[in-house]
């Protein structure tokens, strides 16, 4: 079916206007706490790079855990299956920053999207490249075509100053020999990666390699189609943490959220999406974002099911 996304995006934006409870911005990172939950943007990117958007779809925001998808792809491309010796691919059923499973699972995090798993992935990427946050930023710049993307120093410093929980996760995993770099180096790279600013348009375009079964915007291959499938599957089962079941039930797409209020989602073989709304629910997912994606798949019938 040939579909232009403009009418559907306009309708979703109108519905989001009427949303009364939009949740609250993340306040455990003080630099994010002042964000206005009333803000909203949404973009859809076709596989040929055409992008449609509504609301503040060109407004950069703090990408946070959305970047975990890109660092995972870059680490998997370089390390292959051996990456899965360091991190699992099962839903955790626990909050994204939980410590509880790590001790009895010997420092191997459940999946690459909870904080512990993302720390391990960034550690491996940094061990191989020597510049984990830089290669992630470069990848986002190349795939979005936006050379102006930057790391927000204020956000990175704010999180460093309040990063005890992530430090605890990293030091515990280091004690289990599952961290290769000195922990302070790893934390710096991880916080810098999370502090990349990008817009819905940038992120929808940068995610398109997952809808193209591993092919980058310039036609070169980052991942095998099997590796792209693996990442989409982990996004579906683990991308919204302890709300992954609810997200799959409502949206029916591989997706990945961040506490900056962004969520990316993939319709394999068809298009990619990014929504932004800084108000979060109790499990750290954007209220407006999940609602908008739910409405998108309902109105268009584009889901993986």
Q: Which residues are catalytic?
A: 65, 68, 190, 241, 259
Q: State which residue, 123 or 159, has the beta carbon closest to ligand DON.
A: 159
| Distance of closest approach, residue 294 Cβ to ligand DON, in angstroms | 17
Flag whether 166 is marked binding: yes
* Helix boundaries (H) for 162-199: 164-175, 183-194
C-alpha to C-alpha distance for 293 and 117, rounded to whole angstroms: 25
**Pick from 200, 194, 259: nearest CA to 35:** 259
Interacting residues of 300 by C-beta distance below 8 A, sequence separation 6+: 3, 5, 8
Residue nearest to ligand DON (CB): 65
Flag whether 232 is marked binding: no
Pairing of strands 271-276, 41-46: antiparallel
The site for ligand DON (CB under 6 A) is made up of 64-65, 96-97, 115, 159, 166, 194, 257-259, 284
| Distance of closest approach, residue 1 Cβ to ligand DON, in angstroms | 33
| Distance of closest approach, residue 21 Cβ to ligand DON, in angstroms | 18
Flag whether 115 is marked binding: yes
Interacting residues of 233 by C-beta distance below 8 A, sequence separation 6+: 89, 254
Flag whether 241 is marked binding: yes
HSE-up of residue 200 (Cα within 13 Å, Cβ side): 27
C-alpha to C-alpha distance for 265 and 105, rounded to whole angstroms: 30
Q: State which residue, 53 or 258, has the beta carbon closest to ligand DON.
A: 258
Binding site listing = 65, 115, 159, 166, 190, 241, 259
Please report, in range form, the residues annotated as the binding site for substrate. Answer: 65, 115, 159, 166, 190, 241, 259
């Amino acid at each position: 079916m040939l579909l232009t996304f403009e009418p559907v995006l306009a309708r979703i934006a109108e519905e989001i206007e009427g949303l009364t409870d939009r949740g609250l911005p993340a306040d455990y990172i003080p630099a994010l706490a002042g964000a206005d939950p009333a803000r909203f943007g949404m973009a859809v990117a076709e596989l040929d790079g055409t992008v449609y958007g509504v609301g503040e779809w060109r407004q950069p925001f703090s990408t946070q855990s959305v970047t975990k998808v890109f660092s995972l792809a870059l680490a998997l491309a370089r390390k292959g299956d051996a990456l899965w010796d360091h991190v699992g691919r099962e839903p955790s059923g626990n909050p994204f920053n939980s410590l509880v499973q790590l001790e009895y699972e010997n420092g191997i995090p459940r999946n690459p999207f909870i904080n512990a798993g993302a720390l391990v992935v960034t550690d491996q990427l940094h061990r191989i490249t020597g510049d984990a946050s830089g290669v992630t930023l470069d990848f986002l710049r190349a795939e979005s075509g936006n050379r102006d993307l930057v790391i927000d120093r204020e956000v990175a410093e704010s999180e460093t100053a309040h990063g005890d929980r992530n430090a605890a996760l990293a030091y515990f995993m280091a004690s289990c020999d599952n961290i290769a770099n000195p922990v302070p180096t790893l934390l710096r790279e991880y916080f810098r990666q999370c502090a990349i600013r990008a817009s819905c348009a940038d992120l929808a375009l940068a995610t398109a390699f997952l809808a193209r079964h591993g092919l980058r915007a310039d036609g070169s291959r980052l991942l095998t189609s099997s590796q792209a499938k693996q990442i989409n599957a982990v996004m579906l089962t683990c991308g919204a943490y302890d709300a992954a079941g609810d997200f799959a039930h409502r949206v029916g797409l591989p997706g990945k959220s961040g506490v900056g209020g962004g969520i990316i989602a993939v319709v394999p073989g068809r298009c990619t999406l990014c929504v932004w709304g800084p108000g979060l629910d109790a499990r750290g997912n954007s209220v407006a974002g999940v609602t908008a994606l739910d409405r998108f798949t309902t109105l268009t019938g584009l889901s993986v099911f």
